[in-house]
A and B are shown apart, each in its own frame.
Chain A
Amino acid sequence: MSTGILEFLTIFVLAAFVGNEVIGRVPSILHTPLMSGSNAIHGIVLVGTILVMGSAHGAVQITLAFLAVILATLNIVGGFVVTDRMLEMFKAKPAERVPKAGVGDDATGGAK
């Protein structure tokens, strides 16, 4: 309790505004990766579960904390891996296809 609740509330409010700002302009084509990416980010609760496990005593607390670490790891690892897999597939028009279209253009505008 070295830091007061008010300071944490301040951080909370500022983070809420940043969260709103930062995704304001995400195009709808990226909504799925955004959802899964932000999903991965809240997996950082793993840090919380590790800390809690550190101070857990007795079978009940340790069992619950153990479960929590597993769940949080699923969240964070799965979230980032699946997002990466999705984003890997987003590619711009490959370079070889642009010239192909260009060849067609030349054929019609052959006088050039």
Chain B
Amino acid sequence: MTLQTWIDLVYLLAAIGFILALKGLSSPKQARNGNLLGAAAAAVAVAFTFLNPEVRAHTLNLVLTLVAMLVGAVIAVPAARRVKMTAMPQMVAIFNGVGGGAAALVSIVVFLIAAPGKPAVYRIAEVLFGVLVGCVSFSGSAIAFAKLQELMTGRPITYPAQQVINAVFAVAIVALAIGTLVTGSVPLLVATAVLSLVLGVIFVLPIGGADVPVLISLLNSFTGLAVAASGFTLNNNLLIIAGTLVGASGMLLTRMMSKAMGRSLANVLFSAFGSVVTATGGADGLGETRPVKAGTPEDIGVLLAYARKVVIIPGYGLAVAQAQHTARELADLLMERGVEVFYAIHPVAGRMPGHMNVLLAEANVPYDELKEMDEANPEMATADVALVIGANDTVNPAAKNTPGSPIYGMPIINADEAEHIVFLKRSMRPGFAGIDNELLFDEKTTLLFGDAKDTLSKLVAAVKDA
């Protein structure tokens, strides 16, 4: 067997490792081992790549490769170690974006190397696909990061003639791509790359903050496809398999997530969510003046302490206040008193799907106390108290009753069915989607204003006294 055959064999094993890694992620017990297996597979594949004679042909290039890897690792490890769990969506967006950028660069460099002679048309097509999708993923992820990190507004950004401008860009890219395909010209490819970067930006700008998680999952899938395209360009099976795995699974995940929000993917990406939000924006002002029932921690403490069943519905507000530990303290205290307590988790609670589970896991809440929406909803009618901590849109009955509402059709946790509803809120500000919540004005509802962590500590004290 030649050296290349051995390397290819190792790549095959690595591909199997990746498949098993993804498979492991379907159960919390095996997930960590699955991920470690994936990491090991990647490490072995990278190590064997250095056996390739071409990689070792030029000492300068080899040294530069090692330096670049060192630089990358030195930046990545502390960033990944230190990032707060609340900032996880941004982190995933960045790592995803750089992957897309790397794939685009691979395709560009391969094209540059082959440029003197005109490569076959299908070769150019592979390069174009990698460049286009990789660049969109890179700049799109950058904007998604800026939105999540609140470096820019999370509201959809719209401007006049947006659709027309986007269409012009799309046509321009198609024209440039065809030009590159026919001529094999380097400047045309570079122009395609630049326009693709712009396309990524204008594609993401009109997508509202609440939809960014779906977007990240889609961009993740894009990067996968860009990597697969680099695999075609390099005749490398491992890249094709790994990229396609991620591309396909990411697409499925994206669809599952849009479904959890009760909307089609096209609706998430292209609907003018912003215009509807501004339409209800006027109603917010009216809402503020309507009477709400505000309670004291002592009242609510007694209510909780003598309840039989309490459902905690956490939202991103809980995470912002870093109150997940105090929430667990309250839950444990209630459980010690014999109250039945569980957490009802909406699939899109937090800033990315499953985000809330990660945040609560960080606070050592065992995952068997977390119930998914479908499992929690049948129990809501028998709950004495629905304790909504920093959530809003995910319990908004408008999703069920108000056909005109932007979130109409989104499955929600039926907090409104519980006997009492307690909202822990910082203010009357509407949720991430910017929509007023009728449930706040319901007569079963009591509001506790203030920082979630503060309020929860007061509740803990009140329950102890009760």
Q: Enumerate chain A interface residues (CB-CB to B < 8 A).
A: 1-3, 5, 8, 11-12, 15-20, 22-57, 60-62, 64-94, 97, 101, 104
Choose from A32, A47, A69, A76 the contact partner of B354 (Cβ within 8 Å).
A32
Chain B: minimal CB distance from A32 (Å): 4
**Residues in B whose Cβ lies below 8 Å from that of A44:** 14, 18, 42, 45-46, 227, 238-239, 242-243
When A and B form their complex, what is the total count of cross-chain residue pairs whose Cβ atoms lie within 8 Å?
Answer: 386
Listed A/B pairs (21) with beta-carbon separation below 8 Å: A2-B235, A5-B232, A8-B232, A11-B237, A19-B252, A22-B22, A22-B23, A32-B357, A35-B353, A36-B92, A44-B239, A47-B11, A47-B239, A48-B230, A53-B55, A60-B112, A68-B105, A72-B102, A77-B76, A78-B95, A79-B80
A42 to B445, CA, bound (A): 47
A79 to B41, CA, bound (A): 14
Pair B245/A104 contact, Cβ less than 8 Å? no
Task: Answer yes or no: B99 CB below 8 A from chain A CBs.
Answer: yes
Pair B245/A22 contact, Cβ less than 8 Å? yes
Choose from B35, B55, B102, B227 the contact partner of A84 (Cβ within 8 Å).
B35
New contact pairs (9) apart from A26-B253, A91-B361, CB-CB < 8 Å: A5-B122, A32-B352, A36-B88, A42-B224, A46-B69, A47-B45, A71-B99, A78-B95, A86-B358
A65 to B241, CA, bound (A): 22
B61: nearest chain-A partner, CB-CB: A53
B32: nearest chain-A partner, CB-CB: A87
Chain B: minimal CB distance from A16 (Å): 4
A3 to B234, CA, bound (A): 11
A39 to B243, CA, bound (A): 10
Among residues 1 to 58 in chain B, which have CB atoms less than 8 Å away from a CB atom of chain A? 11, 14, 18-19, 21-23, 25-29, 31-32, 34-36, 38-39, 42, 45-46, 49-50, 52, 54-58
A34 to B42, CA, bound (A): 17
**Residues in B whose Cβ lies below 8 Å from that of A52:** 105-106, 109-110, 113, 234
A96 to B403, CA, bound (A): 49
A49 in contact with B102 given A15-B244, A41-B242, A70-B71 (CB within 8 Å): yes
B interface majority secondary structure: helix
Task: Answer yes or no: B168 CB below 8 A from chain A CBs.
Answer: no
Pair A24/B77 contact, Cβ less than 8 Å? no
Pair A48/B106 contact, Cβ less than 8 Å? yes
A76 to B246, CA, bound (A): 13
A92 to B242, CA, bound (A): 30
Chain A: minimal CB distance from B252 (Å): 5
Choose from A28, A89, A91 the contact partner of B260 (Cβ within 8 Å).
A28
A80 in contact with B38 given A12-B240, A40-B95, A67-B105 (CB within 8 Å): yes
Choose from B113, B364, B368 the contact partner of A56 (Cβ within 8 Å).
B113
A48 to B465, CA, bound (A): 63
Chain A: minimal CB distance from B45 (Å): 6
A34 to B246, CA, bound (A): 10
A34 to B21, CA, bound (A): 10
Q: Which listed segment binds A: B215-223, B299-307, B420-428, B429-437? A: B215-223
